[in-house]
Amino acid sequence: MQVPKIQKAVAEFKRWMLTEEAGELLPLWETQKNWQDHFYVESKQLANAYDDALDSKTNRRHYRRGGYDPKRSMQAIMEWEPDFVRDAFRDLFSEDRDLEGRIQRFVFYINELFNRYRDAKPKARIPTHYHNDDYNMVSLYLMGQYPEKYAPYSTELLQTVCRKLGAKDVPPAADFPRYTKLLQTLRPFLEKDPEVMENYQQRLRDIDYQGESALLVYWFFRYVESTTQQPVATAG
């Protein structure tokens, strides 16, 4: 990536952070805090822990919107076979194992469990498990478990950021490990800027996760994704 393009984007991002558009993403920090507070993979009431952990009082669009409800399907599977779901999450959260393998296995496990659930409960009105979604839900789970390392993923976002920031090559397909490395690589550009960090602390609410979070870089990515040649106007 080209350092001048990164630096220019960071300078513009500082103002964008204070806009209403930027504020629409804050519920991700709220969910991150709830996950840290409530989710425990060994919980005897796993479905209840998951329900409390994956929540937001202000906006749930990152995991529930029209025609997309992975939370409902996962809760149904958890209530039916919590031990198998526990195993899937244990593997997903095993940082000593290859990341690409973990995320692929998780989606495979959930797909298999859901198929078995539908066979056991043919009258259940849940059309799919929704986890074949370009790793969106998998990234949300990892974001909650390891706030400092992971953030919401989409292949389109990765490709756009690489293209706009001058990467030598743009991944032609999903590349979750590269996205995760990019989150770590670009973090210093943001954290060394006092104004970025001041605006960041100003925007976080009491209900949001306050610790080190890769969501700061994700926020930057979303700004880069939305950029035009027009100057950024702050709210108010």
Give pLDDT, residue 213.
98
User: CA-to-CA distance for 164 and 42, rounded, in angstroms?
Assistant: 42
Contacts of 3 (CB under 8 A, 6+ apart): none
Give pLDDT, residue 128.
81
Give the Cα-Cα-Cα angle 1, 102, 38 (nearest 5 degrees): 100
Give pLDDT, residue 130.
82
H helices, E strands: number in the chain: 12, 0
Give pLDDT, residue 10.
97
Give pLDDT, residue 236.
34
Q: Residues of the chain whose pLDDT is less than 50? A: 229-236
User: CA-to-CA distance for 155 and 204, rounded, in angstroms?
Assistant: 27
Helix, strand and coil percent figures for the chain, each rounded to 5? 60, 0, 40
